[in-house]
Amino acid sequence: MTVTLAGLLLGSAWAGVVAWYLLLTRSYRQVRNLVVIGLGYVLVGTVSIGSLLLLFSFCDTVGIVPRSSSGNAALSAYTISCTSVILFTIRAELRWRKSVGLDQTLVSKRRRKK
């Protein structure tokens, strides 16, 4: 039970960090600041791998083998929680891109109408 809760918390936490990054760097990404975009790539990779390693080390600390039923439950909870948060993040990001004009399909439709 505790390991499953840890999986839920770590999965939603890393996806939340990605969401905060996307929210806080909108103005920089709008002007295509390559430093901020590159830091985003590093942040997503680091936080996702780091949270998985944290989950596995927590399982070891508690004494649960990662391939056991409890370990699989923790990994499933991690996957479900991060997927649900990422889906909301992608939805918000796509809406923002469309409102700002970064959506290429929107630009091409405007050009066709002229």
The pLDDT score that the predictor gives to residue 44 is 93
pTM: 0.81
- CA distance linking residue 45 with residue 48, whole number of Å: 5
What distances in angstroms separate CA 82 from CA 30, 46, 69, 78, 102, one per listed residue? Answer: 26, 15, 20, 6, 26
Residue-wise pLDDT for 2-16, tens only, equals 899 999 999 999 999
Contacts 24+ apart (CB under 8 A), 69-77: 70/3, 70/4, 71/3, 73/3, 73/4, 73/7, 74/3, 74/4, 74/6, 74/7, 75/7, 76/7, 77/4, 77/5, 77/7, 77/8, 77/11
| pLDDT at position 111 | 60
Q: For 58-74, write each residue's pLDDT tens digit.
A: 999 999 887 889 889 99
pLDDT in tens, 28-86: 988 889 999 999 999 999 999 999 999 999 999 999 887 889 889 999 999 999 999 99
